[in-house]
Amino acid sequence: MSGEPGAAPVPPAPAGSGPRRVLVTGTSGMLGRAVAQLLFDRGYTVRTLQRGAVEAPWESVQGSVVDPDVAAQAVAGMDAVVHLAAKVSFTGDWDDFVATNIVGTRQLITAAQREGLRDFVFVSSPSVAHFGSSIVGAQAGTADPDRARGHYARSKAAAEEIALAEDSPAFRVTAIRPHIVWGPGDTQLVERVVERARAGRLPLLDGGRALIDTTYVDNAAEAIVRGLERMDHAHGQALVVTNGEPRPVGELIAGICSAAGVPAPGYSVPGWLARGAGSVIEKAWTAAGTRGWVHDEPPMTRFLAEQLSTAHWFDQRHTQAVLDWTPSVSLDQGLERLAEYYRNR
């Protein structure tokens, strides 16, 4: 991504594709900002939609995708949508996930179809097809709201179903599922790891042996943009995106801690114990939060315990063939960039 220390030059859009007008939602988050910036750098006309005000060189609409008037305003005059806006949390009321992730997606699709847009990239998550057991060298499974774990995954699975059901030659839809996206400025994974490690509250589960895939943010952004540029090949499909470098979760966490200059976790707890404790903590945390007592994420949930103690890595051959894409930043290079980010803070 341009502007980041050590970043490679941004390649131009493929010959013959021409400039296009693209709406990107959810640009208050790290990945949404990266996607908007990459599109802008490649010569696309970019408009963004997010809840808060932003400073950017492109046009911006402030509001929620749940509001039909805001959705209509955001898609007006556009050619395509990259939809990242979502409620991302380990806990919370189901109705809140439904409103943003399901109703918001349906609202945006309806607005895009009425405006005559042709392409819609829905940014999803591999969790929509993760049902608690190990994933070893798999491709993208089928999203299943009934079997997905937790409110976020269930709501994203339902939203992905809604989006892909609208795929047609006149309105092309693809679902891109980047897996565990991280990088400088990440508040979802990196900052939580760093804060808890600094406070001595970050155990490894089962010794951190579970093999997992992750995705450096620049690679995730490039793959999403390629989904748009390769819509002829990608539409109607769900594609999992990763760095293609599965590593033990303990090794990845140690790398993040080293980059930030904090001690890596020094103790381990059994995964079965963490999963059981996570279920209890999640229920208590949610109950307290509904009364306004708690505003942050709980230290552990069953879903998080499963993610930290269960293998989940994916075969990337189909994804890379469809997108005509390979990751440009290795995990080690990403960790070097993360270390540089912390040195400069």
Annotate the chain with three-state secondary structure.
CCCCCCCCCCCCCCCCCCCCEEEEECCCCHHHHHHHHHHHHCCCEEEEEECCCCCCCCEEEECCCCCHHHHHHHHCCCCEEEECCCCCCCCCCHHHHHHHHHHHHHHHHHHHHHHCCCEEEEECCHHHHCCCCCEEEECCCCCCCCCCCHHHHHHHHHHHHHHHHCCCCCCEEEEEEECCEECCCCCCCHHHHHHHHHCCCCCEEHHHCCEECCEEHHHHHHHHHHHHHCHHHHCCCEEEECCCCCEEHHHHHHHHHHHHCCCCCCCEECHHHHHHHHHHHHHHHHHHHHCCCCCCCCCCCHHHHHHHHCCEEECCHHHHHHHCCCCCCCHHHHHHHHHHHHHCC
Report the C-alpha gap between 28 and 167 in whole angstroms: 27
Report the C-alpha gap between 148 and 185 in whole angstroms: 28
Active-site residue, selected from the candidate residues 152, 267, 341, 342: 152
Report the C-alpha gap between 196 and 194 in whole angstroms: 6
CB distance 105 to 83 below 8 Å:
yes
Q: Decide if 152 is catalytic.
A: yes
Task: Give catalytic residues, as residue numbers.
Answer: 152
